[in-house]
Chains A and B, each alone.
Chain A
Amino acid sequence: MKNDPVDVLIIGAGASGAAVAWSLADTKMHILCLDQGGWMNPSEYPSTGRDWEAKFFGEWSSSPNIRRRPEDYPINDDNSPIKVVNYNAVGGSTVMYTAHWPRLHPSDFKVKTLDGVADDWPIDYDALTPFFEENDRMMGTSGLSGDPLSPLTHPPMPPQPLGLSSPIVAKAMNKLGWHWWPSDTTVATTDYEGRARCINLGHCTPACAQGAKSSTDITYWPHAIRAGVELKTHCRVREILTNEHGMASGVVYYDKDGVEQFQPAEVVIIACNGVGTPRLLLNSVSGKFPNGLANSSGLVGKNLMFHPYAQIYGYVKEPTDSNRAPPTCLWSKEWYDTDLSRGFVRGYGVQFVRGAGPVFEAVTSEQKGILPWGADHHRAFRKLNGHRIGFSAICEDLPEEHNRVTLDPVLKDGHGIPAPRIDYTISANSQKMMDHALARGREVLEVAGATDICTNAPIPWGGWHLLGTARMGTDPQRSVVNEWGRSHDVKNLFIVDGSIFVTSGGVNPTSTIQALALYIADQMKQRLANLFD
């Protein structure tokens, strides 16, 4: 079945797809977004039920392979120590994220120049600055301006309260003379743009029933739809088709009834994340593009970067916030920049974690062997529960071509579309970085008086940040898209998600992903008259 053509077709309604849709809406072009997921219903979010923690292990798992909703696609990540986690719905993985909101640093865009590794980005931080600011207003951020070791931000809302956990960490960091600062987050600390303020429902990663945590289904999308953007849900795109001129002509997708459809479009924008985007491009094979679309460089799917997490946590005598607050509260940039005396290049950001709920505490502590079976179980649990503090290092992953996304020869999704396969190893540099982070984290925890210290390095189900698999650059032989997100090979095809990252920085990337999406939309608007030249 053929639909009426649209001017712009966006694939994916998550972090970047929502931002680019909203920004382009003021062109008054006919814009259509297709998403494989549907609208979320906050009344069904885990925190509305007594079994809220148990749901994390099943239908609200962060892993699509465990969750297995019809909207999810399977991922073969057996050959990776870090498993992919995501969420597939309107809002994408902003529905299920920690709302931690650092930006990449200016130095992150110049790693080759500064440290002689990887490549510089074709744009710099200053090019993104206005879009970071615009995005912060749209998403609604809270925080405290003035961090001396982070890029200057202007959060429209005050920071989260320190609560019980943050002062414990802060005192230890102060004793050690190390940097910390209250995190910028996308958790509303006051009523904001129709969203109610945070009431501390607990760990907000698996969606916020209050709507205080910013996800694009409740931020960008209502604005974009009011401005005329059309959003079709439960539509899974199988492939992008091209015409005899090598231009994208539209997409083939399966609608909510599973019926194959063709949607013609003048411009196609991909916003499917660092795994979904290469999967789609590699599935879009034709005579003219036998190795997948936009892949003349051979780099589609390569250079996958995850951010290996080095997590260390322990238990203090004082009560902590447990599950009674958003999970992240402070960050540190003490080890963010390169110091070769540490034995590795580049660095890591740190996010401090407030605690855990009782079920999560019991399950993880039993697995770590610090919560015994038998008569001593009750005493041990009371010592642990409500006393955890944590330190998680987000280690900068450098691009390596052997870390990649390909198509699995066997595994397919519910529509029969080949699923992605991940091949990934942790580099020696990243391993040294994680070791360093664990050692520093142990110092912090011990100064804080913590005992029963446990580690996860990497966090196995920690593949939140999916980056680098369709990198941007000025050289068509060394990159997939140009410096404003357009495919080198297909002049009406754009990519706006984390796959275009050249390097990963050492922070959560969503803020930068969305700033990039807004920047690319702005570039498109400035070039509408000669967009395909």
Chain B
Amino acid sequence: MSDANELTSAQRADLRTIAAMIIPESDEYKVPGADDPAIQADMLATLGRDTALVGQALDHLAKLAGKPLAELDDARREAVAREFRTSGGAAAATLVRVVLQCYYRDDRVLRSLGLELRAPFPKGHVLEDGDWSLLDPVKARGGSLRRTP
């Protein structure tokens, strides 16, 4: 998608770095981090109408960091990330949302969560009927509508 090309290579590098800070790889849960190449590719390919705000967010991040985020030491990088989320407003929120929405549709991640790898339609889901006797106390208590002249 051409919109993705609007991010510079430096912005893409910072996006990759901040994404990994939001969601790092986990051996325990056997899931990739949000800096995984496939997830990053999904982000760039589907950025679309979010491109401008994500670009603004990355500009703000670059200003806070003063150099590529990956080149900061751990403590400084953490501090910049906190400041970014606190002061970044709607642009930062959009960047974080883009990271999350692409991460939580990745096959490996959904599989790890025990979720099916499919669109809701046409299979849908089965909903159990539940215990309708729970309504008995409500029926027993009764009540009436407010009297109206």
Contact = CB atoms under 8 A, between A and B. Distances in A.
Interface size bracket, B side: 35 or more
Contact of A47 (B26, B28, B121, B148): B121
* Chain A binding surface SS class: loop
A199 B121 CA distance: 9
Interface in A11-64: 45, 47-54, 57-59
Contacts of A57: 97, 101
A52 B120 contact: yes
B44 interface: no
A198 B119 CA distance: 16
A287 interface: no
Given A54-B101, A162-B129, A378 B138 contact: no
A167 B127 CA distance: 12
A291 interface: no
Interface string B106-120: 000010010101111
Contact of B21 (A105, A171, A209, A374): A374
A80 interface: no
A163 B148 contact: no
A167 B121 contact: no
Interface string B53-93: 00000000000000000000000000001000100000001
A385 interface: yes
A53 B106 CA distance: 13
Given A148-B142, A148-B143, A366-B100, A210 B124 contact: yes
Contacts of A367: 93
A13 to B, nearest CB: 25
Given A358-B113, A363-B101, A377-B24, A209 B134 contact: no
Given A107-B145, A113-B149, A58 B50 contact: yes
A162 B131 contact: yes
A177 B101 CA distance: 40
B23 interface: yes
Contacts of B26: 375, 378
A47 B125 CA distance: 12
A311 interface: no
Contacts of A124: 148
B113 A45 contact: no
* Chain B binding surface SS class: loop
B96 interface: yes
Given A54-B46, A359-B105, A378 B127 contact: no
B93 A125 contact: no
Interface residues of A, number: 68
Contacts of B122: 199, 209-210
A385 B103 CA distance: 14
B148 A109 contact: yes
Contacts of B132: 162
A8 B117 CA distance: 50
Contacts of A146: 139
B97 A363 contact: yes
A210 B138 contact: no
Contacts of A181: 135, 138
A50 B105 contact: yes
B126 interface: yes
A362 interface: yes
A198 B125 CA distance: 10
B2 interface: no
A110 B21 contact: no
Nearest to A68: B49
A201 B131 CA distance: 22
Nearest to A51: B105
Contacts of A164: 128, 130
Given A363-B101, A374-B22, 4 more contacts: A48-B119, A110-B148, A148-B144, A373-B21
3 shortest interchain CB distances as A-B pairs: A162-B130, A199-B124, A324-B125
22 contacts: A47-B120, A58-B49, A105-B145, A113-B149, A148-B138, A149-B143, A149-B144, A167-B130, A170-B135, A177-B137, A199-B122, A199-B124, A200-B125, A201-B125, A202-B120, A325-B127, A358-B115, A363-B101, A373-B21, A377-B22, A378-B29, A382-B113
